[in-house]
Chain A
Amino acid sequence: MRNPLSRPLPPWRGEEVDDKLDTRNNPASSAPMTELTPVPSLADRVAAASPDWMVRRANGLSDRSIAWLFIAPTIVLLLAINIFPLIWTVHLSFTNYRANRPNAALKSVGLDHYRSILSDPDVWAAMQATAHFVLWTIVLQTLLGFALAWLIDRKFRGHALWTTIILIPMMLSPAVVGNFWRFLYQPQIGLFNYLVSFISGVPPSSFEMIGSVKLAPWSIILVDTWMWTPYVALIILAGLRSIPDYIYEAAEVDRASQWRQFWSITLPMVLPFIMLAVLFRGIENFKMFDMVNLLTSGGPGSTTEVASITLKREAFEKWRTGFSSAFAIILFVTVFGLANIYVKALNRVRQR
C-alpha cells in the first residue's frame, strides 16, 4: 500500500502485523517525503488522483452530511425490510388474516391469538422440544468446544492444519446437512448404525435414531453438535489466547498447582468468551428450522417439532397468517428478553 500521506504513519496496536499493510517497515513504498509539503503541490496531487465526482461533491460536504450519507442507506434498508415488516407482523397478529384468502374480510380479533397460543398444549410441546434442543446443544458444544480449544492451545505441530479441517462442518448448509444425515441415520442403509454396531456390538437394525421417540431428540442434538462445536472451540480459543503469559508465570512463581491455575486463572478469564459463544449458539438454535425439518420433519409424531417448524406449518401450510404472526411475536419477545438479560449478565462478568 502506498502511503498517501506526506509523513510516516504512527504505529498502531491491535492488528497482527501484516507486511503488506504495515508501511512502517516499507520505506520504499512510501512517497518521497519532506516534513511539510507545500499545500499547492499536494492539492495538485489530490486533484489529479481523485475522481472528478468525488472532488466536486466532497468539497461541499460537511462531516454531518457525510455521516448521514453513510448511515442512511443501511437504516433505510433495515427499516424497509426488517422494521416495517415487524410492525406489520404486530398488526397482523391482532387480525384474522389468512394469506391464502386475500379477499376475505379482515377482522380484528384482539388478543385471541395470543390467548390461544399461550394455552395451546401443542405450542408448549414445541417450546419444550426447542428448549431441550437448545439446552443440550449448548451443554455439549461448550464442553466439547472447551476441551478442543484447550487441546489446540497446547500448540502442537500442525495445529493450524487440523484447526482448518475441523472448521469444515460449519461451512455447510444446515438444510443440506439435515438431508444427508437423514441418509446416514437410516438403520438399514446408513453409516451411523453400522459404526455404532461396529463399536458396541449392538446389531444395526435393532435401534433407529430418527424414528424412535427416545432417540430422535438426541439425533438432532448430535448433528448440531457435529456442525458447531468447532465454532464454539474457536471462540474459546480466542479467549484462551487472550490470557497473558505473565499471569501464569506469576502463578508458577507462587507455586500454584496446574489445577489451581486452571480454576482461578483460566476459567474466570475465559468465562466471558464461553458466555458469548453460548449466547450466539443459543440464539441460533432457538431459531433452528432447516436442519431439523429436513432431518426428522419434526417427527416421530411431534417429538422434534421445534418452534420454527410449528411456525412454518401454521404460517405457510395452514396459512393462518394472523395466528402465526402472534406466535412469531411471542418467539421474538422471548428471545429478545432472554438475550437482554443474558447480555447484562455477560457485561457484568466482563467487568470483573
Chain B
Amino acid sequence: MTKYLLGAAALAAAAALVPVGPASAQPKTITLCWAAWDPANALVELSKDFTAKSGVAMKFEFVPWPNFADRMLNELNSKGKLCDLLIGDSQWIGGAAENGHYVKLNDFFAKEGIKMDDFMPATVLGYSEWPKGTPNYWALPAMGDALGWTYRKDWFARPDIQADFKKKYGRDLAVPKSLTELTEVAQFFQGREIDGKKVYGAAIFTERGSEGITMGVSNFLYPYGFKYQDPKKPYAMAGFVNSPDAVKGLEAYKALFKCCTPPGYTDAYMQEGLDAFKSGQVALQMNWFAFFPGLYKDERVGGEHIGFFVNPPEKEHGSQLGGQGMSVVSYSPNKAEALAYIKWFAQPEVQKKWWALGGYSAHKAVLNDPGFAKTAPFASDFLTAMGEVVDFWAEPSYAQLLLAEQKRIHDYVVADKGTAKEALDALIKDWQKVFKDDGKVN
C-alpha cells in the first residue's frame, strides 16, 4: 500500500515538471478576464464574431465578484500572464496606471481612429482616465453600469395591496420618488403574507468582504448630500464626509437594514439579492443595471412581474457608478491580438450587438440612438442613472480607502457599533491616514 502511495507520489513529482500549456503550433488564443456574471456570458457570445473575423480564439477567466478584485489585483501585482485583456473595475484605474499594469492606449486610439468622444463622457471619465480629467486613457469603456432598483410590479398592481397601502400611508402605491418613500414601501411589505408565503421589504447590499456594503450605502449617502471632499479643496473631507446630511443618510440606510430585510441578510451582495428577488422573498431589490436584462427574462419574476427604477433622490440626485473598462495587461505576451480585440469591440455595429445581447454599451451610437429608450424597459432609467452617477475614489490607494469604509460602515450598520457620526468621523481619520501616507495631504 505504501509502495503505491510512494509510487503515485513519484509519478506526480515527474508530472509536475511537465509544463502545462498548449503547444505552440495551435492558433493564437488570448485570455480575457472579467467577473462571472450575466454580461460576461453575453460577451462570450459576442466574441464569437471576433474569432470568426480574426481567427484568434478567445479563452475566458471569470471570477465571481466577491473574489474578483482580490484575485485580479493579486494577479496584476505578481506580474501574472494569465490575462491578456482585463475588464477591470473602474476604481482600479489609478493603481493600474501608476504601477504599470495597464498599457496606455492613447497612441493606439490615435492610430486606429478610436475617438473617446464617441463614448459617453461619464464613462470615459470613470473607466478610462487617469489622472481624472486628463486625456490619458488606460481602458476602453466596455460596460456602463449604475446601481438601480427593481420591484415586483405585479404586487404593486394588486388592488388589495394598493388599498392597504393607501389606507396606511394616504398615498398611492407607486414607484418611490424619494428614499423616504422607498423605506415606507419596504416597511409596508415587510412580513406581509403574499400567496401564502411571508415576504420581506427589500434586498440591499450588506457584504463585508469586498465592496458590497460600501456600494449599497453610497446609494443612500449621495442623495442625502454626502460628498467625498470639498469641491474646492481636494482631500479636505471634514464637513463633507461627515456632514449632518451624510449622517442622516447613513442612519437611514441602517434603518432600512434593520426594519425591512430578510432574516440573515447580513453579508449579502449582488448574488444574494438576485436569489432573494427571484425566489419571491422581497418586494424591492437593489442591484446593478447589469442584471436587469437577465431578470427581465426570468421565468418566475420577469416580464410583467418586474419593474425598474433609478435610485430615488432625497435632497439631490445620485447613483453609485458601476461599470468597467477594457484594458490590455502590460505583462501579456499577446498585446497585438489584445489590441485587435479592442479595435473590434469599439466598432459601433459590435456595440449595438453588445447591447442587444445584454451588455451595456457606453458608445454614443447606441445610447444616443432615438429608439434606445424603447429597446428595454430599463433603458431610459439607465440613461437617467448614467447622467447622475458618482464614483468612489479611484486613487491608487483605493483599496485601502474601500476597506476602511467597508469596516466602519459594516461595524455601524450590521454590528451596531457606535453612532453614525462616530462611524463617519472614524472613516475620515482612516482616509486621512491613507492620504497622508501617500503624500497627498500633510
Contact = CB atoms under 8 A, between A and B. Distances in A.
A and B touch in the complex (CB under 8 A): yes
A214 to B, nearest CB: 10
Contacts of B70: 316-317
Contacts of A303: 415
A101 B73 CA distance: 12
Nearest to A316: B74
Nearest to B413: A301
Contacts of A318: 397, 399-400, 403
Contact of A100 (B99, B264, B407, B437): B99
Contacts of B437: 96
A187 interface: yes
28 contacts: A99-B77, A100-B95, A100-B99, A122-B407, A187-B264, A188-B264, A211-B264, A211-B266, A213-B415, A296-B267, A297-B209, A299-B208, A299-B267, A299-B410, A300-B266, A300-B410, A301-B410, A301-B411, A301-B414, A302-B407, A302-B410, A313-B403, A316-B74, A317-B73, A317-B403, A318-B399, A319-B77, A319-B399
B266 to A, nearest CB: 3
Given A101-B396, A300-B208, A208 B263 contact: yes
Contact of A208 (B98, B264, B397): B264
Contacts of A299: 208-209, 266-267, 410, 414-415
Interface string B253-293: 00000000011111100000000000001000000000000
Interface in A310-352: 313, 316-320
Contacts of A100: 73, 77, 95, 99
A301 B407 contact: yes
A302 B415 contact: yes
Given A100-B95, A318-B397, 18 more contacts: A99-B77, A102-B99, A103-B99, A103-B100, A188-B264, A188-B281, A206-B263, A211-B414, A213-B415, A297-B207, A297-B209, A299-B415, A301-B407, A301-B410, A301-B411, A302-B415, A319-B77, A320-B400
Contacts of A213: 415-416
B207 to A, nearest CB: 8
Of A96, A99, A208, A301, chain B has the most CB atoms within 10 Å of the CB of A301
A99 B267 CA distance: 29
A316 B71 CA distance: 10
Please report whether the interface of chain B is mostly helix, strand, loop or mixed according to DSSP.
loop
Interface in B392-410: 396-397, 399-400, 403, 407, 410
A223 B394 CA distance: 39
A100 B74 CA distance: 9
Nearest to A96: B437
B267 A297 contact: yes
B95 A297 contact: no
A190 to B, nearest CB: 8
B417 interface: yes
Interface in B224-266: 262-266
Given A299-B208, A302-B407, A187 B415 contact: no
Given A297-B267, A303-B415, A101 B99 contact: yes
A150 B83 CA distance: 56
A122 B430 CA distance: 11
Given A103-B100, A211-B264, A302 B411 contact: yes
Given A101-B396, A300-B414, A301-B414, A208 B403 contact: no
A201 to B, nearest CB: 17
A301 B415 contact: yes
A199 to B, nearest CB: 19
B264 A186 contact: yes
A208 B267 CA distance: 12
Nearest to A313: B403
Contacts of B267: 210-211, 296-297, 299-300
Of A102, A210, A297, A316, chain B has the most CB atoms within 10 Å of the CB of A297
Contacts of B415: 213, 299-303
Contacts of A122: 407
Nearest to A294: B209
B97 to A, nearest CB: 12
Contact of A205 (B77, B263, B403, B407): B263
B191 to A, nearest CB: 11
Closest A-B pairs by Cβ, 7 of them:
A301-B415, A211-B266, A187-B264, A301-B411, A297-B209, A299-B208, A300-B414
A230 interface: no
Interface in A170-226: 186-188, 205-206, 208, 210-213
Nearest to A293: B209
Contacts of B73: 100, 317
Contacts of A210: 264, 266-267
Interface in A256-291: none
A145 interface: no
Interface string B181-225: 000000000000000000000000001110000000000000000
A100 B263 CA distance: 39
Nearest to B416: A213
A205 B197 CA distance: 14
A162 B407 CA distance: 44
Of B95, B262, B407, B437, chain A has the most CB atoms within 10 Å of the CB of B407
Nearest to B396: A101
Contacts of B262: 188
Contact of B399 (A188, A206, A298, A317): A317
